[in-house]
Amino acid sequence: MSNNKTTVLIIEDEKAIRNFITTFLSTNGYKTISAKNGTEALSLISSHVPDVILLDLGLPDIDGLEVIRKVRETSSIPIIVISARSFEGEKVKALDMGADDYITKPFGSSELMARIRTALRHSHKVLTKDLGGQEDFITGDLRIDFNARQVIVEGKEIHLTQIEYKLLAILAKYVGRVLTYEFIINSIWNMPSDKNSQQLLRVNMANIRRKIEVNPGAPKYVLTEVGVGYRLADIEA
C-alpha cells in the first residue's frame, strides 16, 4: 500500500522546519523525502520523482530559483515555494519561473495541506484535461458554464464584459492557485506588466468583485495576494 502514497520532497536547510513538515505530512498519510540543500534535492528529484516539491528559496548552496529552473527543464512536478518575509520579491520571480504556488513562513499545517491538495489536484487536471467536453466549473455558490459562457452566482446569472469573463475563466482554470499580475496581463491582453496594465487589471477585478461578491470589500471568491496577484478561492460545495 505504501507504493500508492503521494511522495512529497521537502527542500529546506532549517532542520526544525524540515522536521516539523516531515512529521506533519507523515502523520497525514504522505510519504516524505527531504533535502537540506539544492544539490541533494536535484539528485533526489531524478532518483525518486516526487509528486510534489516543497522548496525553501534560501538554500545554502544553490539559489532556490535555480532549482526551479533545473526542474522545469525536464518536468512539471508541482513546486510549492516556502517563502520567508525577506524573500517577498523572490516569490513573484519563482512563480513566473514555473513554481505553482507559495506559502509564507510562518505557516500553519492546515494551510500547508490545502496548498498541497490544490497542487496535486491541478497536476491531475492537466493530465485529464483534453479528454471529453468541458465541464461546468464550481466553487462555493459560483458556477461557470464554459460552453454557454455563463456565470451564475447563487442561481442568478451575472453579466460580465468579455474581459471580465476571460479574467474569471483564467482564475477558474487555475482555481486555488495564485496567478501573478504578469501572468494574467500577458494571458488576457498580451501586454507587459507595468503600472498602466496593472491599473487596468485592478479596475476589472474590482468590477468582477462588485458583480459576484456579496461583500466586495471582503471578497470570498477573488482573493488578493498583496504584491503578487490574485487567487480564486477553491470552496467545496
Which residues make up the interface to Ca ion (CB under 5 A)?
13, 56, 58
Over the chain, what HEC string results?
A: CHHHCCEEEEECCCHHHHHHHHHHHHHCCCEEEEECCHHHHHHHHHHHCCCEEEEECCCCCCCHHHHHHHHHHHCCCCEEEEECHHHHHHHHHHHHCCCCEEEECCCCHHHHHHHHHHHHHHHHHHHHCCCCCCCCEEECCEEEECCCCEEEECCEEECCCHHHHHHHHHHHHCCCCEEEHHHHHHHHHCCCCCHHHHHHHHHHHHHHHHHHCCCCCCCCCEEEECCCEEEECCCCC
Smallest distance from the beta carbon of 66 to Ca ion, in angstroms?
Answer: 14
Find the shortest distance in angstroms from Cβ 73 to Ca ion: 23
Q: Which is nearer to Ca ion, 24 or 146 (CB)?
A: 24
Q: Using the minimum distance from each CB to Ca ion, give the nearer residue, 64 or 219.
A: 64
User: Residue 225's closest CA among 71, 81, 51?
Assistant: 81
**What is the nearest approach in angstroms of Ca ion to the Cβ of residue 139?**
34
Lookup: cell for 181:
499580475
**Residue with grid cell 495576494, as numbered in its chain:** 225
Strand 31-35, strand 7-11: pairing = parallel
CB of 76 to Ca ion, least distance (A): 25
Nearer to Ca ion, 90 or 101 (CB): 90
| 58/140 with CB nearer Ca ion | 58
Least distance between Ca ion and beta carbon 82 (Å) = 8
* Spatial contact of 64 and 82, defined as CB atoms under 8 Å apart: no
For Ca ion, give the closer residue by CB, 102 or 174: 102
CB 132 to Ca ion: min, Å: 43
Q: Minimal distance in Å, beta carbon 54 to Ca ion?
A: 12
Closest residue to Ca ion, judged by C-beta, is: 58
